[in-house]
Structure 1
Amino acid sequence: MLTGGGYCFLEWKQSLFEREASTSEVSDDLLIPGGMPIGIYMETDGVMVLGTEAVEEKGGTTQEPAKNIVKAGDYIVGINDEAVTDKKDLQRAVKSQEAQEVVLHLRRNEEYVDVKTKLVDARDGKKLGIWVKDDEQGLGTVTFLDSKSRFGALGHGIRDTDTSELLEIREGRLYTTSIQEIKKGKSGEPGGMEGIIVYNNYNILGTIEQNTESGIFGTIDRIDALFSEQEAIPAAAPSDVHTGEAVIRCAVSGKVEEYKIRITKVDLNAHEKNKTLVIEVTDERLLELTGGIVQGMSGSPIIQDGKLVGAVTHVFVQNAAKGYGIFIQDMLKYVG
């Protein structure tokens, strides 16, 4: 039964990509469009430095030993001879040090540097005086699935909220989620989607392998739990995309639906890859539900003329009905 069921599912999946593409189409890529909400959990590649702080010693004096030595956005990957991959490693390594001075091994702007800093002997143990983080979590929307079970989502990278730096990740996972509440967007105050994410093995959908300026990318393991029977469609080349009517797919109503939008600008030479399209929500249902584009809708696929042309990436803060999008081809560069 397991073998037969697996075969039937693989046969169904393959059939989604067997639609014959017109010879006039610039791109032969066939993708299943998404629109489903996903829970996101990522672990940083090393421990990310957020900043430094003064620490009080046992004697009552304070000092900030790491000030001007480490920088926000650095990644601590080791202390002396001990490797560091997460906060627990860092805490363990600091606790085990006997000397008052240590060497921190850092990754800074893709280069590795060593710096010396002092440990503060505080009342509750030894301290570096450094604020750090080693993970990130949230909610977004999946954009597409390809024939090799590779996915793209968000259309923009995940950045640290304190430093605004793009997170360098060691690994990550996608989880099932359901939308529980929508905070409607209004002028000057972007809205948002709130969902319930249970971070356990049962709810894992796949793995996140890349966090880039054009989105997050990886592999879906449980396709049947995320994608239902949908038709694969061609991926548009940037030159195919034009101003005019289009639709986006998202699940703000509790299920994936298509909503009308208008592409008002196509910029083939935009400075930021995830702001090459300007869109405006025209669908009264979506405007009533969300006010337009809200946080969590990033990654919602944009479909025009039967092709997947891109994904929603940002909302205009002063006008929630408007936002930016990215060309799908700029996302496809990261899957293969």
Structure 2
Amino acid sequence: MEKKDVVKKRNPENCMQNSAASLPHAPSSVFPTHAAGKKRKPCLRKILAFWILMAVLGGAGGWIYQTWQKIPSSIRIRAGEEQELFLDVPVSGTIYGEKTAQKDVIPVNLNRPLTVQASQIQDYTMDVKLFGIVPFKQVDVHVVEGQRLIPAGVPVGIYIKTEGILVIAESDFEGLDHSRKEPARYLLRAGDYILKVDGVELEGKKQFTEQVAASEGKELCLTICRDGQTFDVTVTPQQNTEGVYKLGIWIRDNAQGVGTMTYLDEKNGFGALGHGINDTDTADLMEVQSGSLYKTKIVNIRKGISGTPGELTGVIDYKKENRIGAISINSVEGIFGTLSQEEADEIQGEALPVGLKQEVKKGEAQILSCLEEDGAPQLYTIEIKALHLDHDNINRGIEIQVTDERLLEKTGGIVQGMSGSPILQNGKIIGAVTHVFVNDPTRGYGIFIENMLSH
């Protein structure tokens, strides 16, 4: 009984007060009272509500962006044919032409299959609204003639000569007095094209190097093309330790390599690569003065593995008799030009209709590529995994994965040199292979054929 009288229940609040009393200098915030806890709960609710709102807005923003990408900025429709357009997006609007009367404005709803037909070549505009309310996007609609192309799939050797001399880097060098010399510092930069020296057009880097060496240290007037703008700069060459006059720049006037021809049209015009030829140092699209296609033979295949892309190795003999075509255009969509009649006659295969981007479907497709020395192009099975109708990078509109065991055995998937291999689906030519995933060589990207034809 006495023990029970001694041991008494203690009030938790008293414990708190006693503890606080033992530390008279402790700030009251260290030991919050019940009232302070009540004040903190509304603050936590506000923070939680804020983050929930941010998550909702982020999700909504992502959905809107994906919806935007599902709607191409431009759509092509073949004249005289009924075609189905189904984008499965919650937008509706109208289609009208430049001279369309109000009564001829056509309502559209892209949330369900839409059958369209145009009888003549003409351009239209489609204005669409999200949920039929919020102005969302303007789409250019082009009515075009139906076109047929012969899928090529043959390897070609490529040689291009730049428009002028390309500056790929600045550098310094040791002068006669053993000090560092930088004659072109702040005057020239990587990506510049040197077109003329003292008003004389350049034919190649050898000529340019000789003119600089023969300058005897006198000022040279260089005509430069930079970002599409042409202007003159003056620069004074200086001697290196061997007494040779230099400017302190690295230059290039050509590029070469192996790729695949995508198609041949009825006028012997060809398209190849599906992407442009960029300088390896500046990463800029090279401005082409002239170029040639040459016969090539595939002599080796390095299989691709995760982290290391594979490669087709071809032998190119740059003899005149091996030249099979002329390159006239180097653009982001590929390289284009004209094939010789003799070589065009050797391209076998039936001309196929062009598949427009809205006709391309996810699922099985084929690529046409040649992997054997003196062999004919073969069809290999792939799967289209995703479609990006309005991708910022037009060379990556089609996402593909190699499924053909023969191709996987030979190459491991997509390898360098296969760029330009035509992609076929449902009896139509729909695109060309352009890129490989570095970490998964079985997967890669392709460009829509209509984008190649728009160059």
Q: Tell me the C-alpha RMSD between the 2 structures.
A: 1.7
> Structure with the greater relative contact order (CA < 8 A, sep ≥ 6): 1 or 2?
1
Aligned partners of 1:34 and 1:145 also within 8 Å: yes
Task: Name 1:187's counterpart in structure 2.
Answer: 306
Q: Secondary structure of the equivalent of 2:416? A: coil
Is 1:316 matched up with 2:434?
Answer: no
**CA deviation after TM superposition for structure 1 residue 224, in Å:** 3.5
Q: How does 1:1-336 map to 2 (within 5 A)?
A: 23-24=81-82, 28-122=146-240, 123-224=242-343, 227-254=346-373, 255=375, 256-334=377-455
The answer to which of 177-186 and 73-82 deviates more is 73-82
Aligned-partner Cα distance in 2 for 1:154–1:119: 40
Which 4+ stretches in 1 moved above 3 angstroms?
A: 21-27, 222-229
State the Cα distance separating 1:223 from its structure 2 match: 4.4
**Cα drift, residue 225 of structure 1:** 6.3
Distance 1:322 1:67 in 2: 43
Partner of residue 12, structure 1? none
For residues 452 and 227 of structure 2, the distance between their equivalents in structure 1, rounded to whole angstroms, comes to 23
Per-residue CA distance 1:18-54 (angstroms, 9 max, x = gap): xxx9955786111000110000000000000011111
State the AA in 1 paired with 2:448: F
Q: Please state whether the residue corresponding to 2:415 is helix, strand or coil.
A: coil
Larger-gyration structure (1/2) = 2
The CA distance in 1 between the partners of 2:228 and 2:296, in whole Å, is 34
1:8 maps to which residue? none
Write out per-residue CA displacement over residues 99-127 of structure 1, whole angstroms, 9 at most, x where no aligned residue: 53222211001111222222112324211
Looking at structure 1, the residues matched to 243 and 378 of structure 2 have their Cα atoms a distance apart, in angstroms, of: 54
2:324, 2:343 within 8 Å by CA — same for their partners in 1? no
Q: Structure 1 residues 202 and 146 mapped into 2: Cα distance closer, same or farther (>3 Å)?
A: same
Q: TM-score, normalised by structure 2?
A: 0.67
Per the normalisation by structure 1, the TM-score is 0.89
- The more displaced of 72-81 and 316-325 is 72-81
- The 1-side partners of 2:328 and 2:203 are apart by 16
In 2, Cα distance between equivalents of 1:170 and 1:203:
20
Q: How far has the Cα of 1:324 moved from its partner?
A: 0.3
Residue 191 of structure 1, CA deviation:
0.3
Q: Percent identity?
A: 44
Contact 2:327 2:338 in 1 (8 A): yes
Q: Secondary structure at the match of 1:68?
A: coil
Q: Is the 8 A contact 2:150 2:352 kept in 1?
A: yes
Give the gaps of 5 or more residues in structure 2: 1-78, 84-143
Cα deviation 1:259-313 (Å, max 9, x = unaligned)? 0001111111100111000000000000000000000000000000000000000
The answer as to whether partners of 2:216 and 2:245 remain within 8 angstroms in 1 is: no
Moved more, 152-161 or 50-59: 50-59
Report the 3-state secondary structure (helix = DSSP H, G, I; strand = E; otherwise coil) of the residue aligned with 1:253: coil
3-state SS of 2:195 partner? strand
Residues 152 and 347 in structure 2, CA contact (< 8 A), matched pair in contact too: no
Query: Aligned partners of 1:67, 1:222: CA distance in 2, in Å?
Result: 49
